[in-house]
């Protein structure tokens, strides 16, 4: 495994101060980048093959290249609204090495030609906001932010913006609306933020980890960075492991590492005597995988081939002491709570799904309800304004599909407990006009 990049001696005391950060070579990559042309910096980003670390995995260099050239006001926004259940990597990074993010942001903004930048941090991260606020003051005083940075002619403002508790603000357009002082409703795309984002100006939006990786790309050069990891999944990745493992926490791995080595090797696997029932490979929005998928490589393509996704790199392990129905209900309730309410399928679909799962929980359901649940998830997928609806529908579909037997057993047991007796013979619902 390669040396740590982002987590290199992350616990070193005082790393959150500019003094220690600089002593360790901090801001040298910024100086180097500012001596290059923006096009050269962009080329390094393109060469690196770095894919966004927030969840969607879009190539970062390409995203930068989408911004129109020209003298208009352009913006860089760092998405630090880390809210995907199971994800907590950006938190550790911002808290312990805030200057790495700032350095990455100035370099990225230089490549994109953006002069105004913001970090949108979730409101609950109060300690991290304080650390960043302090680091921003230091960076401004040191001349790494402001007018004519290091004599390069590049000027940049960078402000921290605290959110106030809404998962949907992690969706990039919801984040933009929130940053503009509105309810954090996602916007219709197109137009995409690269053309019309914050205040209608071209906007680059990247995750904390993505931006913090940028100084390392400059240090190594894009082509060298690209040698880390596996095809289509270059570099190292911070992963957050949680749930039923013995050593939950953040780990930096080289992409392509076997999932089993992460879950059992790094995180110690489930408590002795317990087996993994299923696991979310990329946050609670990713379709669940079963133990037989553990020998796959942990990278974008392998997870996609397994029918799931790498997402934010958050692995949640569920062992056999838990009921899949309980997890499904917790999950569905979360998405109902976080749906912004703007579009119909998400707002009503999450709400309806919760009601059905609650009925299963209460012992007043039949297996036919599982078909309706599955059908409702299908009706949500692909029909929503943003991906939040899909974020519930995908894992929920996978749970119902992969654990149908357990759901049915649960329904039967609950009915018995509720004294409702045998399940009646189902009467198929006839749908007028629908194909048989």
Partner 1 sequence: MAEQSSAVARYGHGSRIPGWDDSVDLSKDPAVVPDPATTPVPDELRAQIEAAMAKYPNFRSAAIPALHAAQDLHGWCSPTAIEQAACVMRLTPGYLTAVATFYDMFETKPVGRQRVYVCTNISCSLRGGKEMLEAVKAAAGDDPDLNVRGFECLGACDIAPMASVNGEFVGPLEPADAEQLIADLKEGREVLPDKQLSRRACADPGARSDG
Partner 2 sequence: MPRPEERFVTFSIDGREVSAPAGVMLADGAKYGDIEIPVFCYEPKLGAPVGACRMCLVEVEGIPKLQTACSTPVKDGMVVHTQTQRVREAQNSVVEFLLVNHPLDCPVCDKGGECPLQDITFGWGRGISRMVEPKRHFRKPVELSPLIAIDRERCILCYRCVRFSQEVSEDYQLILNERGASSFVGTFDGHPYVAPFSGNIVELCPVGALTSRAYRFRARPWDIEGSGSVCTHCPAQCNVEFTVRDERVLRVLARDNHGVDDGWLCDKGRFAYQAIHSDERITEPLVRNPDSGELEPATWEYALDVAASAIEQAGSSVAAIAGGTTTNEEGFLLQRLVRAVGSADLDSRAGLPPVPAETQRALAAPALQATIPDIEFAHTVLLLGTDPIDDVASLDLRIRKGVRRNGVKLAVATSRPSALDANSRLWLRYAPGAEHAFVAALAAAVGGADGVEALCEKADADPKAVAALAQLLQDGGEDVVIVWGQRIGAAPLPSLLNLAAALRLGERAGAGLIEVPVGGNARGLREVGVQSNAGPGLKDAKAGKSAHEIAQQAADGKLTTLYLLHADPVRDYADRRLWERALQGAEAVVAHATLLSDALRATATVVFPAESYAEKEGTIVNLDGRVQRLRPAIGRPGSVRAEWQVLADVAKRAGHDPQVLTGPIVTQQVVAAVPFYGGLTLEEIGGKGVRWQERDAASAAPEAPAGPFEAGEPLAAPRPNGALRLGTYRSIWAAPEVEVSPALKFLTAKQQAEISPVDADRIGVDNGGRVTVSAGDVSVLASVFVRGNVPAGTVFLAEATAEQSATELLGGEPGLVEVRPA
- Which residues between 179 and 238 bind partner 1 (CB under 8 A)? 179-184, 199
Q: Does 338 bind partner 2 (CB under 8 A)?
A: yes
Applying CB under 8 A, among 13, 419, 424, 433 the residue interacting with partner 2 is 433
Query: Which lies closer to partner 1 via its Cβ, residue 48 or residue 97?
Result: 97
Checking 416-419 for CB contacts under 8 A at 24+ apart, the result is 417/363, 418/362, 418/363, 418/364
Applying CB under 8 A, among 35, 39, 155, 159 the residue interacting with partner 1 is 159
Q: Does 243 bind partner 1 (CB under 8 A)?
A: yes
Query: Which lies closer to partner 2 via its Cβ, residue 183 or residue 305?
Result: 183
Extract the tokens encoding 119: 């970090």
Q: Which stretch binds partner 2 (CB under 8 A): 6-14, 235-243, 257-265, 346-354?
A: 346-354
- Which of positions 150-169 make contact with partner 2 (CB under 8 A)? 166
Quick one: how many helices (H) and strands (E) in the chain?
A: 17, 10
Neighbours of 338 (CB within 10 A): 20
Q: Which stretch binds partner 1 (CB under 8 A): 158-166, 214-222, 288-296, 365-373?
A: 158-166
- Which of positions 361-380 make contact with partner 2 (CB under 8 A)? 372, 375, 379
Q: How far is the CB of 412 from partner 2 (least distance, A)?
A: 19
Q: Dihedral of the CA atoms 78, 83, 88, 91 (nearest 10)?
A: 40
- Which of positions 106-135 make contact with partner 1 (CB under 8 A)? 116, 122-127
Extract the tokens encoding 14: 């005082």
Residue 414 contacts which entry, partner 2, partner 1, none (Cβ below 5-8 A, type-dependent): none
Applying CB under 8 A, among 181, 421, 431, 436 the residue interacting with partner 2 is 431
Query: Which lies closer to partner 1 via its Cβ, residue 99 or residue 116?
Result: 116
Query: Which lies closer to partner 2 via its Cβ, residue 48 or residue 377?
Result: 377
d(CA 271, CA 136): 42
d(CA 274, CA 270): 6
For residue 215, which of 40, 10, 29 has the smallest C-alpha distance?
Answer: 29
Query: Which lies closer to partner 2 via its Cβ, residue 49 or residue 186?
Result: 186
Q: For 51, list phi and psi in degrees, rounded to 5.
A: -105, 145
Q: For 260, list phi and psi in degrees, rounded to 5.
A: -60, -40
Q: Does 35 bind partner 2 (CB under 8 A)?
A: no
Q: Does 432 bind partner 2 (CB under 8 A)?
A: yes
d(CA 417, CA 298): 42
Q: Which stretch binds partner 2 (CB under 8 A): 66-74, 95-103, 155-163, 428-436?
A: 428-436
Q: What's the burial of 126, exposed, middle or buried (CB within 10 Å: 0-12/13-18/19+)?
A: exposed
Q: For 5, list phi and psi in degrees, rounded to 5.
A: -100, -65
> Which residues are near partner 2 by CB under 8 A?
166, 183, 188, 336-345, 347-352, 355-356, 359, 372, 375, 379, 382-385, 429-435
């Amino acid at each position: 495994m390669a040396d740590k990049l982002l987590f290199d001696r992350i616990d070193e005391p005082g790393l959150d101060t500019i003094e220690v950060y600089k002593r360790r070579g901090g801001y040298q990559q910024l100086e180097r980048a500012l001596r290059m042309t923006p096009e050269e910096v962009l080329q390094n980003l393109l060469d690196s093959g770095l894919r966004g670390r927030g969840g969607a995995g879009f190539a970062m260099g390409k995203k930068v290249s989408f911004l129109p050239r020209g003298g208009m006001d352009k913006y860089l926004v760092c998405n630090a609204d880390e809210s995907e259940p199971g994800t907590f990597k950006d938190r550790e990074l911002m808290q312990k090495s805030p200057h790495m993010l700032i350095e990455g942001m100035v370099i990225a903004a230089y490549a994109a030609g953006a002069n105004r930048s913001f970090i949108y941090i979730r409101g609950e991260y109060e300690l991290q906001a304080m650390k960043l606020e302090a680091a921003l003051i230091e960076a401004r005083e040191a001349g790494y932010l402001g007018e004519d940075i290091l004599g390069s002619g590049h000027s940049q403002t960078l402000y921290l913006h605290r959110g106030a508790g809404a998962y949907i603000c992690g969706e990039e357009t919801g984040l933009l609306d929130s940053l503009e002082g509105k309810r954090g409703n996602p916007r219709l795309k197109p137009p995409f933020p690269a053309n019309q984002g914050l205040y209608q100006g071209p906007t680059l939006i990247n995750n904390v980890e993505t931006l913090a990786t940028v100084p390392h790309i400059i240090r190594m050069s894009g082509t060298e960075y690209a040698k880390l990891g596996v095809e289509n999944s270059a570099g190292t990745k911070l992963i957050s492991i949680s749930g039923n493992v013995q050593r939950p926490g953040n780990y930096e791995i080289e992409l392509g590492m076997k999932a089993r080595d992460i879950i059992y090797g790094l995180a110690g696997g489930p408590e002795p005597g317990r087996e993994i029932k299923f696991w979310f490979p990329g946050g609670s929005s990713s379709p669940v995988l079963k133990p037989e998928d553990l020998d796959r490589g942990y990278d974008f393509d392998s997870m996609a081939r397994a029918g799931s996704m790498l997402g934010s790199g958050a692995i949640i392990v569920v062992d056999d002491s838990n009921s899949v129905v309980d997890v499904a209900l917790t999950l569905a309730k979360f998405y109902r709570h976080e749906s912004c309410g703007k579009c119909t399928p998400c707002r009503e679909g999450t709400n309806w799904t919760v009601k059905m799962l609650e009925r299963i929980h209460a012992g007043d359901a039949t297996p036919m309800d599982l078909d309706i649940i599955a059908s409702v998830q299908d009706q949500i997928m692909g029909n929503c304004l943003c991906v939040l609806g899909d974020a519930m529908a995908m894992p929920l579909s996978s749970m119902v599909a992969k654990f149908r037997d357990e759901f049915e057993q649960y329904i039967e047991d609950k009915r018995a407990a509720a004294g409702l007796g045998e399940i009646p013979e189902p009467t198929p619902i006839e749908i007028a006009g629908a194909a048989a």
